[in-house]
Structure 1
Amino acid sequence: MNNLKEIINKINELYIIKRSKYLVLNNKGNYITTDTSKGGKAFPLNDYIVQRHLEGKATFGVFSTKRASKFICFDVDVKDDLKAKWTTYKVVHSLTEIGVPDNYIHISHSGNKGYHVEIFFNQPIENYLLKEFYTRVLNNADLLDIDYGAVEFRPTANQGVKLPLGRHFKTKGNKRCWYVNYDKRLEPVRSYNYILKIEQMDSRVIYDILVREKDILLEEDVIEVDKAEEYIEQKYKPLPIYKQNIDKEETVEQIENILTNGLSMTGTRNNSLFKLAKYFKWKGLSREQTKQELLNWMKWQDTRLYTSKWDICLKDIEHISTYVFANDVQLTVEKSEVVITYNEILQVIQTCKSKNEKLLAYCMLIHSKRYSNQSGVFYMTFEQMAKASGLAEKTTRRLIKKLVEINAIDIVERNQKQEGTHKKKPNKYKVNIKEEKENKQIFTIDIENENYSATFSDCVIYLIERKVLKVMLPRRQYESIVV
């Protein structure tokens, strides 16, 4: 290798973000973790160690930091060679289908079995976002639960991944892990120079994909109640990590901390701007006002924490503010504890006629308290209504019409098309149940899942005396609630 130094520099650029901790593959094919932060005589991961890796004298792997990574690896761990290739093709197809340009997708042989499908970024991306991206790609490829192997997420702070172009000492002949040619049935590219052609993708591509995919998960073809009989349930089931555009790392308090204290680490500028844009929209600001607030915030950030030129920052602010408003991206903060007041449950009982109407209104009230924006508006799919109430989807579609007629709820927005698709978003609702300023009688619900119906009877009985209920409700309704 005449250009050894150049190749070492490229590995540093693409793969290495943490030098104090790395993997060493011994001659028996077992990995040992070296962590210089814990003391001892080991050296940090340096150029000499990378050179030994390339020369085949030792094999090393890398970890991410606790917060972020410079690349993502889909580790196809499948023993059967044909199935491994087929799985790798499915991963690549899913990546391109979801929006990753194919020239940024690179594949190498993992050595013992399977392949590494990798994408590299020009700025580090937080691990929880990469894990979310990985889950979405695998779900799209139908590879989340396979019985012939696994496609694993790498690297993490605790699970490293082997560097390419080294030898795997457990294989016959100490097989070298070359990059492979996707267009030639994954044949090895027996050249170290391949790595020099790899380019890092703009991190904003992943960021935009995650935003778009979260929105798509909220889509639902809206069908008129009269045609509910013809409704065909969608095959795709959103994973818990995607539900309602919720991100457990994303709270009002966390975003307000970003607003007050600014950037805390490199590689988070775009993510912070996007969170702030959603926050300003949630507060009721217009697109132009949001854009101005983002600009004001950006002006006082520490320039040591971002490398982009100012004109790029301005373009990003324009892009983010436009995207958030054009796609109606919401800041939706989940609550794990909900309080129902006496006045609220009384309105549910008095306004709604049938027990199922009461039950669905109650469930939508809880859902609104968990997920609504500052104006009380929230998304709720018919599938979520069914899960929350225990009723059939067909029934919830029929009941929604009745709840609107009696003014228990408003449909704030319906039949809105998802930008760039033929599909429609789920309706937006607002519950017309008012909470009094002073409510001494309250019922607290600790939310463990999306089924709210189990607490309905307990809430009613706790807040309203039985003798009062007996007067208010038809006999069968009273008995179904009390008994």
Structure 2
Amino acid sequence: MNKQKNMKEKKDYKENDMKYGIDERLRLEVDVLKDLYLSTFDRFLIQNTKHKNFKTGDKLGYRKGNGYLTDYQIAEHLKCNKTIAFFSKPFSTKVMILDIDTEDSAAEDTKYLINILVKYFQVESKYIYVTFSGYKGYHITLFFDNEIGMDFIKSFYEDILLVSGFNKKQVELRPLHTNACKLPLSIHNVTDEKCVFVDNITLEPILDEDYIFKIQKIDRAAFKKHIKSIKHIIVEEYKDFTDVRKATHSSTLSVEDKQYFERNYQTILDTKMLLHKSTRNNVTHLMSRYLKDVLNYSESECIDLLLEIVLNTKKHAPDLISINNIESLKKVTINTVKDTYKYNYKFSSTTRNNVYINLQEIKDILALKDFKCKVLYLCFLVQSKRYKDSDGNFFISYKQLQSMSNQKLNEKTISKYIKELVRLKYLKVVKRGGYYSINPLFSSTYKILKNNNKANRGILIEKNKFNNDSYDLQLDVIQLLVDAENEYKTLDLKEHLKISELRRVKNYIKERRIA
């Protein structure tokens, strides 16, 4: 009797599949997606990817799904006709997802987080899966063989943030009972790009159509036991850090960090001691690069010397280092050096160079309406030419900007004109520090979007100009404009400057002649 009932249900199942256009392959994909991701079917969001608002032309956003999530709706998701977002149960989930949305640095940050999971939490690489969001972000995903408690997952997530240095806006935990997450293998609403699985090392799309059937789940009980066993070590290493930095992430070392190191490295080497509180992390990174690239130390020699410095500091000035466990201190120091040699991180000096501002850059400056905005942009332009990396990114803090302007640009003014430069597509905020928070000590990462080359032609700005010791940056700007008008005969400042600004220029020329 039961056999006949099961055969009838199987027949009805196939008839429904045929009715809704679900073939055998699609049926397998629907089933595996349900098995991997879904712990509840009564709460979900749905978005019709092909439907648009007839007034605005914008695609319609997510709406709350009615009733229970059906196989047909999941099949439509896989056909890229709809996009489904799912929730966890209130107290448990089948899957843990880290949603990385740090814009242009998302790929680098994703690789960094995977490194954190493998190195610090000893999660095997084979259990770490990554999907591309379809826009700029990535989802790092761990699948479990049984539902796992949300309290445990949230605690693990907090530990990941602690070690990595990210905040909850940069890396979000999904799914939650209150926040949904998109299922993969459908279309992103804005870009029409498909959300696909990618390689967890290269982040290149995985072309194997059977990849989703090969996903391995983590043993829930063993994973919880393992994470609990190492939690006290993680907390001990990273508690009370006032300036948590990402350990293998070289771009987090600002110009100010490097300038501090260059002022003090010889004293640190001579005394075998750190000099100030909360400098251990950055000094360790920079000293390992300096020893490798400048003094040609081997990896073992570098480890020995840095261990001597940090252990000597902990012994004679314990308050300078927040890590109390000596074995943990040794471990984090050794790992830093090993990363420096493994990834060949380079030591780069912050010595200022002469830079040149060309005619097009002068015109870009003059096109800005407000004189203070001109001053600020030129400051960014010079900083970029001196310190930008291979991707065009550079650091500068509000404190530096204020110092360069002889305190004539306050924090609110700086924030106002940064937003204006972003709006006009002169500047891009790659990583926010002091952009919205107006924290004068927090360096942000920026990128000049206008033409920005290092050609040895144009108006010379000497290395002692536009630095933290400038007496009056506004005078420096006026001198630049006067020199530019003299150099480029086609340039007429009267066409670009307001009457009040021209008056400043004339007064400057008059005073320079008298002098």
User: Does TM, normalized by the shorter one, top 0.5?
Assistant: no
Structure possessing the higher radius of gyration over alpha carbons: 2
TM value normalised by structure 1: 0.43
TM value normalised by structure 2: 0.40
Q: Say which structure, 1 or 2, has more relative contact order (CA 8 Å, 6+ apart).
A: 1
